[in-house]
């Protein structure tokens, strides 16, 4: 499956462009999101409208169109993808890629990316056999560009030979194989907490905090992308459910703890939720405003979910990761917290109002473990999720080899 995978599909000129449309459908059926770029050649065979209708997203065609640039620069187009697929890849586009040309949107996106690239060549058999095409393919292979096909069979103009584009389902299998190569957490079970908790004061009022859930949701999405079987226990947030993740919605800290305990046993637990430390004793009836009296709330302590999951015992996850949202002495406080809560790693971040971390898209993390501290650069929350998932995969890989 390709849940949550973002694919930039570049369709170049050739009769096989119509199969590019089928490929959009096949990739989407498997849960991928697909954005399309059509070269001028592709537009001789298919229309941007068909690509947009099938992908559910605008289809991009023009490097210099001001609207395209203001909505979605060519750099972002490539960077916001996990994989670039060129299908069909014409001899001309392969030559541009090999030569580093960037004279239209497709070739510019291909030059401006550091993401993996898969090409599905399609052309006449003489063009395929030409020394120039073969040299270009060798150059691209040496740079790590992956290739599927072409196949041998009937070609346009009543000819036959090597040059038929691989079938859409073969291309999908190649795409899945590329991602499977990265599926380092297959077979691992993960639990992630996310969002705030709401603690009722009475049936209409509650205590809450500003957590958006963006970071926890991004971590769950990244763990699933590496093949983990992931349960996300989330407090109330506006965030959409990440694809492929089992989401359990809760409201209070006690509900969150119960849902986490139900999800055990797991190999990995990441507590990213901003759990309310206290709850009120609560009342079943709405507090009434009375002239001259101000009600006082009696607070009682909530369970510490991270500390509970970190408790020794045969149900303790192999790796327990907590967060420390601090406004001062970020790393020192995180080190103390790691020991106090008995978790393995703490991701410490500065949440002073000036950082904009709460509710924002960026996060600057210091990973604290028993060995020391690793400072990460400022990253998007999505990238923090991916980096953490990679770090977790490396942890299990090292475990296996010891
Ligand atoms: O103690 P503090 O709230 O700063 O600890 C933060 C870490 O502990 C976070 O990983 C948070 O998800 C977790 N936590 C928890 N349950 C609580 C309080 C915090 O899991 N009641």
- The strands making up 6-11's β-sheet, listed across from edge to edge, are 59-60, 33-38, 6-11, 83-89, 117-121, 146-147
The pLDDT value given to residue 70: 60
Helices of type H across 233-380: 253-263, 305-310, 330-341
Q: What is the pTM of this model?
A: 0.67
**Average pLDDT over every residue of 154-170:** 87
Distance 269 CA to ligand 1 centre (A): 13
The total of other beta-carbon atoms located within 10 Å of residue 329's CB is 11
The pLDDT value given to residue 192: 98
Nearest alpha carbon to residue 190 among 400, 399, 392? 392
Q: Which of 196, 235, 304 to mutate to test the pocket of ligand 1 (most atoms within 8 A of CB)?
A: 304
Dmax (CA) for the chain in angstroms is 94
Residue 302 bears catalytic tag: no
Cα–Cα distance measured from residue 73 to residue 64, given in angstroms and rounded to the nearest whole number:
10
Q: Which atom of ligand 1 is nearest to the CA of 305?
A: 20
Q: Which atom of ligand 1 is nearest to the CA of 277?
A: 21
Share of the chain above pLDDT 90, in %: 70
* Among protein residues, the one whose CA lies closest to atom 9 of ligand 1: 323
Q: Which of 79-83, 132-136, 374-378 has the highest mean pLDDT?
A: 132-136
Within 6 Å (CB) of ligand 1, which residues are found?
193, 253, 271-273, 275, 277, 302, 304-306, 322-324, 337
**Average pLDDT over every residue of 81-92:** 97
The pLDDT value given to residue 380: 84
Q: Which atom of ligand 1 is nearest to the CA of 325?
A: 4
Radius of gyration of the chain (CA): 26
DSSP string, 213-265: SHHHHHHHHHHHHTT-EEEEEE-S-SPPPPTT-EEEE--SHHHHHHHHHHH-S
Q: Which of 220, 258, 305 to mutate to test the pocket of ligand 1 (most atoms within 8 A of CB)?
A: 305
pLDDT at residue 133 above 60? yes
| Average pLDDT over all residues of the chain | 91
Cα–Cα distance measured from residue 375 to residue 86, given in angstroms and rounded to the nearest whole number:
37
What is the tens place of the pLDDT at every residue in 379-390?
889 889 989 998
Q: Catalytic one among 124, 151, 158, 209? A: 209
Cα–Cα distance measured from residue 205 to residue 288, given in angstroms and rounded to the nearest whole number:
12
The pLDDT value given to residue 68: 57
Q: Which of 215, 322, 351, 368 to mutate to test the pocket of ligand 1 (most atoms within 8 A of CB)?
A: 322
Distance 275 CA to ligand 1 centre (A): 6
Q: Which atom of ligand 1 is nearest to the CA of 306?
A: 20
The pLDDT value given to residue 351: 84
Instruction: Determine contact, residues 26/172, Cβ cutoff 8 Å.
Output: yes
| Least confident piece of the model among 141-150, 256-265, 351-360 | 351-360
* Check whether domain 189-401 has CATH 2.115.10.20, yes or no: no
DSSP string, 47-98: -HHHHHHHHSSPEE--SS-HHHHHH--HHHHHHT-SEEEEEEE-HHHHHHHH
**Average pLDDT over every residue of 37-47:** 97
What is the tens place of the pLDDT at every residue in 194-219?
999 999 999 999 999 999 999 999 99
Instruction: Determine contact, residues 110/147, Cβ cutoff 8 Å.
Output: no
Residue 169 three-state SS: helix
Cα–Cα distance measured from residue 349 to residue 259, given in angstroms and rounded to the nearest whole number:
26
117 contact partners, CB below 8 Å, separation of at least 6: 83, 84, 85, 86, 97, 110, 144, 145, 146
The pLDDT value given to residue 346: 98
What is the tens place of the pLDDT at every residue in 344-385?
999 999 888 787 777 778 889 999 999 999 999 888 898 899
pLDDT at residue 65 above 70? no
What is the tens place of the pLDDT at every residue in 265-308?
999 999 999 999 999 987 778 888 888 888 889 999 999 999 99
* Among protein residues, the one whose CA lies closest to atom 2 of ligand 1: 324
pLDDT at residue 62 above 90? no
334 contact partners, CB below 8 Å, separation of at least 6: 324, 326, 346, 348, 366, 368
Nearest alpha carbon to residue 322 among 336, 341, 303? 341
Instruction: Determine contact, residues 77/48, Cβ cutoff 8 Å.
Output: no
Boundaries of every domain in the chain: 6-181, 189-401
183 contact partners, CB below 8 Å, separation of at least 6: 226, 227
Distance 314 CA to ligand 1 centre (A): 22
The pLDDT value given to residue 250: 98
Structure tokens at 96: 């541009």
Q: What angle do CA 35, 185, 31 make, to 5 degrees?
A: 25
* Check whether domain 6-181 has CATH 3.40.50.1950, yes or no: yes
Distance 212 CA to ligand 1 centre (A): 15
DSSP 8-state symbol, 360: S
The pLDDT value given to residue 75: 78
* Among protein residues, the one whose CA lies closest to atom 8 of ligand 1: 306
Distance 6 CA to ligand 1 centre (A): 32
Domains 6-181 and 189-401 share a fold: yes
Residue 401 confidence class, pLDDT cut points 50, 70, 90: confident
Q: Which atom of ligand 1 is nearest to the CA of 253?
A: 21
The pLDDT value given to residue 291: 86
Nearest alpha carbon to residue 155 among 303, 14, 304, 252? 14
Cα–Cα distance measured from residue 145 to residue 117, given in angstroms and rounded to the nearest whole number:
5
């Amino acid at each position: 499956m390709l849940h949550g995978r973002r694919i930039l599909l570049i369709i170049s000129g050739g009769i096989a462009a119509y199969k590019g449309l089928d490929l959009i459908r096949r990739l989407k059926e498997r849960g991928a999101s697909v954005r399309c770029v059509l070269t001028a050649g592709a537009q001789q065979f298919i229309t941007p409208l068909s690509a947009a209708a099938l992908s559910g997203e605008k289809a991009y065609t023009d490097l210099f169109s001001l609207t395209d640039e203001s909505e979605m620069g060519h750099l972002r187009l490539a960077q916001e993808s996990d994989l670039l697929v060129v299908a069909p890849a014409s001899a001309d586009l392969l030559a541009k890629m090999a030569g580093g040309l960037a004279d239209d949107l497709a070739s510019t996106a291909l030059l401006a990316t550091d993401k993996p690239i898969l090409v599905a060549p399609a052309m006449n058999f003489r063009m395929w056999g030409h020394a120039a095409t073969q040299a270009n393919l060798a150059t691209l292979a040496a740079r790590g560009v992956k290739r599927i096909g072409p196949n041998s069979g009937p070609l346009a103009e009543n000819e036959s030979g090597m040059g038929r584009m691989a079938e859409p389902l073969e291309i999908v299998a190649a795409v899945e194989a590329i991602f499977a190569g990265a599926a380092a957490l297959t077979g691992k079970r993960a639990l992630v907490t996310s969002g705030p908790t709401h603690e009722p004061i009475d049936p209409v009022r509650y205590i809450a905090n500003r957590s958006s859930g963006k970071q926890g949701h991004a971590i769950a999405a990244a763990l699933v992308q590496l093949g983990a079987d992931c349960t996300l226990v989330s407090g109330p947030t506006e965030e959409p459910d990440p694809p492929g993740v089992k989401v359990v919605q809760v409201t209070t800290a006690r509900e969150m703890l119960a849902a986490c305990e139900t999800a055990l046993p797991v190999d990995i637990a990441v507590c990213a939720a901003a759990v309310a430390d206290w709850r009120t004793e609560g009342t079943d009836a709405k507090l009434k405003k009375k002239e001259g009296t101000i009600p006082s709330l009696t607070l009682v302590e909530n369970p510490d979910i991270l500390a509970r999951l970190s408790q020794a015992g045969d149900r303790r996850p192999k790796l327990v990761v907590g967060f420390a949202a601090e406004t001062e002495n970020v790393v020192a406080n995180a080190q103390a917290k790691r020991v106090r809560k008995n978790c393995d790693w703490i991701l410490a971040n500065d949440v002073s109002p000036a950082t904009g971390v709460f509710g924002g898209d960026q996060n600057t993390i210091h990973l604290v473990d028993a060995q020391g501290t690793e400072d990460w650069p400022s990253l998007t929350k999505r990238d923090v999720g991916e980096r953490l998932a990679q770090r977790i995969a490396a942890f299990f890989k090292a475990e296996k080899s010891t």
